Structure 1
Amino acid sequence: MTAFVFVGPTLAEEDRPRDWDVVYLPPVEQGHIHALVQDKPTAIGIIDGRFHDVPAVWHKEILGALHAGIPVYGSASMGALRAAELAPFGMRGIGRVFEQYLGGVLEDDDEVTVAHAGRDDGHIQLSDAMVNIRATLHEARARNLIGDATHQRLLDLAKTTYYPQRSLRLTLAEGRAAGLPEHEIDALSAFVADHSVDQKKCDALAMLDVMRSEHGTLPKAEADFPLQRNAFVERSHSNGLVHDGDGDFLRINAILNEVRLRPARYLRLRRSALGAIVPRLGTPPADAEARTSAALARFRTTHHLTAGAQWQSWLAEHAYTQDGFTSLIEDEVLARSHRPYGGALNLPLLRALRSDADYRRIVHRTREKKHFLEAHGLADPSGPGPVADKEVLRWYFSSIGTPFPGDIHRYATSLDFLDGYEFLKAVRDDFHYESGDSPAPSTVPKTAHEVIEPDSDDLNHHITTAVWQAEWSAH
């Protein structure tokens, strides 16, 4: 019965209570809530979120969690913003910042926005939130340390400062330079040294207290609103994120690419994922007959059954007629032609992969590769790499024991990559990861690919392989 809380600069590690079943995650971004819903958490709390360099968390995915009966709490920062917006739908807002947004006292996002360091540096805060400056100046005025005019002028100075540079120290310096009364600035400087108000922290701790007190005691809520889905939302989910169980989020495509780059395993996974879909696939493709003939020829060549007598003997041994075996090829051609738009096959593939005994290892490798590429500045490369594309591709095809195809695009799409570029990107990422060194390895790395051979008597796999190979090896 685990709760998850997204938090960053608002609460330092040492300020996060851990005397209950809670997992603290980095600031929320688009796709995180949807990924967590799949883990069926007891509650989700949002304190901090990202938006400047990545898409912000969607209202729709929070609504999805609420619709699934999962309590969602918000406070302090991004959480307060979303809670004020989604309060009518059941999101629980807690704290003064939330109340001010809900009541219209605050409207601008920059009231809670701060600049901060990354996860590796503990999300150290690099600027002051406007709501904290407001709370501190309000307290100073209540203690008669500053008058109304000085209070308003300092608020104006802080508000007109771009949020990454905003700080109370800078605001006081600007106030002094603007000619505000020296004794008021001096009194305020002495006050803030020990008594500045961190309203965001107060609100965040208040939310955690409520979550902890209610943890596991709330009945599953029944949503009183319909959740409308559309093609855009479905595509975003099928190409979205997966929570890896260790506090990180991975792209579904990145996990599936680990398998796509190992064709023997991917063909098995794809066949398993399509098992329940094949009867509903509809009309065969226009070139089904040609593809069936090519795949049948590939199967007979691979298994040394090109001679008529050998072929008839093999069919009799396996209790097939010519037409009966050809129908198996036709079924596989139909299944192989199913490539839904926008990665709609991704979720069935992921569900099938989750039941694989090797799933945790695949997720681990995906995460390690992601971190390696980020650490070496290779997460989103632009332009050609230090090693020629053809050399990288030769390394890959040699590592899986497959001849270099004449048409990379056709090979890529046969493994459900969008195009040749997406395939090359996946191969290059693997190349760098296997090199285990800098972005410019001096030599081609030795392969660490696991080549999974099919069982010798797995006829279904041999049929799938024949159809697959016929797709990209045809001229």
Structure 2
Amino acid sequence: MTAIVFAGPTISAEEVLSLLNATVLPPAGQGDIYRAARQGASVIGLIDGYFEGVPSVWHKEILWALEQGIAVFGSASMGALRAAELSAFGMVGIGDIYEAYAAGEICDDDEVAVLHSPAELGFAPLSEPMVSIRATVARAVADAVLEADQAAELLRTAKQLFYHDRTWEQILAGLADASWLGKFSAWLETGRVDAKREDAQMMLIRMAAFQATEGKAVSIPPEKVERSLAWQGLVQRIEAEAYSLPDADLQVLDELRLEPVRFGEFRIRAAARCLALENARRKGLRPDRQEILEQLSRHRETLQLFRSRDLQQWLAENGLTADGYEALLGETALAGTAVNTLGKQLDLHLLAELRQAGAYAQLKSRAISKSQRLAELDQRGSDQPEQDRLRWVVWYFETRLQRGTPEDLGEYAAGIGLRDLDEFYALIRREFMYHQKDKTQSAPQSRDQAGHIR
């Protein structure tokens, strides 16, 4: 399952990755949940989000993600706020902060707000969230460091500060005359509670368990999001961002357009890829790591990129990073998986394309010739026993196709539109028999023998 987590000042990306296999993105702003959903996330974790200077995560984009069957978890900060507001619709809230919002014990946005450094400095928090101040004071009371009235005074002093100014230094400065201040200050060095981080950790552990079981986050049927004008505007803006291209790529396409036949061929291939990926996303299909590695192996073999420096040069020439290359291959694998699910639906369209390309008649003639040849062999009692399957496979791939034998024959069979391996073996058996010169010629014993078969 593909997980995306939005995190910043609450918890570092390194710590997120230590608890969950996920892509970690900066704090979410408006449209980012929608983007994550469109990019193929199957589970989204919202921890941190913008709320000042940048439009906040929109409730409707979370509802839209839920409508697509994507599990959305929220905790600690903006995630706790949105989960408290949307838990009735299927968003999963985790942690004490979420529970406090859901129960109405706290309601202000500033309870989780913090001032933080820019992304270049890792979103380091520069102020103390009110929820962590509350948790710290509660622990101090439990440890008999503060009396109830002292705790109330401390909380009142902290709450009166603007969230930018909420640091323990500022809070304690406002209580300079309190007789109990020295005892509390000494205890604070080791007793401080980071409530947001603890809740974030709890959510990530829950998400990891959810990933492991590939279960459903909740049983609440998702509601269909109304496609209002505001929603359509958000979608159009994000889609426009997604499909915008750098000038260098636009110039490449202009060069291709000067060759109309070649442009037409690539345009059809691009359309097929686009539709296959849309189909894959609708069905919730995901390429696994092995499929991507096989795509990598085939691609490097096709382009003769055997040496690392050759691959690096190719990536540079094609404007790709290593991650971009992996994403490209992942989409290729996903598109192939989606096409395989079409099964026999594709056959009529294959025939239509063959007829339009002028290739149908030649293949039909070969099929007739093969049928006649096999009928003659059957009349003479020529056949091949089942144990010769391995020999047919070796002959077909290494001699007929001049390539290595795939590791997964079942996947290969599916990739050429066959239901199972039995259909594949029947196909290559007929081809092998068609290439026999006479009834005494048997399946090849080795590559050298196979090489004499025509």
TM-score by length of 2: 0.55
d(CA) in 2 for partners of 1:175 and 1:190?
15
1:175–1:235: structure 2 CA closer, same or farther, 3 Å change rule?
same
Superimposed CA distance per residue, residues 81-102 of structure 1 (whole angstroms, 9 cap, x where no aligned partner): 0000000000000000000000
Does structure 2 retain, via aligned residues, the 8 Å contact 1:47–1:76?
A: yes
Question: If each structure's helix is expressed as a fraction of its own residues, which one has the higher value?
Answer: 2
Residue in 2 aligned with 1:172?
Answer: 172
Residue among 234, 237, 250 paired with 2:235: 237
Residue in 2 aligned with 1:119?
Answer: 119
Residue in 2 aligned with 1:102?
Answer: 102
d(CA) in 2 for partners of 1:362 and 1:266?
17
d(CA) in 2 for partners of 1:110 and 1:147?
25
* 1:26-65 pair list within 5 angstroms: 26-65=26-65
Residue in 1 aligned with 2:199?
Answer: 203
d(CA) in 2 for partners of 1:186 and 1:169?
13
One-letter code aligned to 2:81: L
d(CA) in 2 for partners of 1:203 and 1:112?
12
Q: Secondary structure at the match of 1:73?
A: strand
Does structure 2 retain, via aligned residues, the 8 Å contact 1:94–1:203?
A: yes
1:104–1:267: structure 2 CA closer, same or farther, 3 Å change rule?
farther
2:245 aligned with 1:255: yes
2:75 aligned with 1:75: yes
Q: Secondary structure at the match of 1:48?
A: coil
Does structure 2 retain, via aligned residues, the 8 Å contact 1:67–1:222?
A: no
Displacement after TM superposition at 1:8 (Å): 0.6
Displacement after TM superposition at 1:53 (Å): 2.1
1:237–1:210: structure 2 CA closer, same or farther, 3 Å change rule?
same
d(CA) in 2 for partners of 1:228 and 1:126?
39
Displacement after TM superposition at 1:14 (Å): 4.3
- RMSD across aligned positions (CA): 3.7
Q: Secondary structure at the match of 1:44?
A: strand
One-letter code aligned to 1:252: A
Aligned residues: 281
Does structure 2 retain, via aligned residues, the 8 Å contact 1:69–1:222?
A: no
Displacement after TM superposition at 1:236 (Å): 1.3
2:13 aligned with 1:23: no
Structure 2: tracts of 5 or more residues without a match:
279-298, 300-313, 325-454
One-letter code aligned to 1:87: S
Displacement after TM superposition at 1:160 (Å): 1.1
Residue in 2 aligned with 1:264?
Answer: 254
Q: Secondary structure at the match of 1:5?
A: strand
One-letter code aligned to 2:129: A
One-letter code aligned to 1:100: A
Residue in 2 aligned with 1:285?
Answer: none
State the structure with bigger RCO (CA 8 A, min sep 6), 1 or 2.
Answer: 1
Q: Of the two, which has the highest radius of gyration?
A: 2
Superimposed CA distance per residue, residues 360-413 of structure 1 (whole angstroms, 9 cap, x where no aligned partner): 95787xx9xxxxxxxxxxxxxxxxxxxxxxxxxxxxxxxxxxxxxxxxxxxxxx
Q: Secondary structure at the match of 1:228?
A: coil
d(CA) in 2 for partners of 1:112 and 1:260?
44
Q: Secondary structure at the match of 1:141?
A: helix
Residue in 2 aligned with 1:9?
Answer: 9
Superimposed CA distance per residue, residues 103-127 of structure 1 (whole angstroms, 9 cap, x where no aligned partner): 0011000000001111111111100
Does structure 2 retain, via aligned residues, the 8 Å contact 1:75–1:203?
A: yes
Residue in 1 aligned with 2:184?
Answer: 188
Structure 1: tracts of 5 or more residues without a match:
243-250, 277-347, 368-475
d(CA) in 1 for partners of 2:193 and 2:123?
20
Does structure 1 retain, via aligned residues, the 8 Å contact 2:27–2:47?
A: yes
1:100–1:157: structure 2 CA closer, same or farther, 3 Å change rule?
same
Q: Secondary structure at the match of 2:124?
A: coil
d(CA) in 1 for partners of 2:171 and 2:124?
20
Displacement after TM superposition at 1:12 (Å): 2.7
* 1:306-321 pair list within 5 angstroms: none
Superimposed CA distance per residue, residues 171-222 of structure 1 (whole angstroms, 9 cap, x where no aligned partner): 112111xx32x2x111110111011011101100000110011115244667
One-letter code aligned to 1:231: L
1:28–1:266: structure 2 CA closer, same or farther, 3 Å change rule?
farther
Residue in 1 aligned with 2:224?
Answer: 226
d(CA) in 2 for partners of 1:136 and 1:19?
24
More deviation, 255-264/89-98? 255-264
Q: Secondary structure at the match of 1:65?
A: helix
Q: Secondary structure at the match of 1:155?
A: helix
One-letter code aligned to 1:240: I
TM-score by length of 1: 0.53
Displacement after TM superposition at 1:16 (Å): 2.5
d(CA) in 2 for partners of 1:76 and 1:20?
16
Identity %: 35
Displacement after TM superposition at 1:31 (Å): 1.2
1:146–1:265: structure 2 CA closer, same or farther, 3 Å change rule?
farther
d(CA) in 1 for partners of 2:59 and 2:119?
24
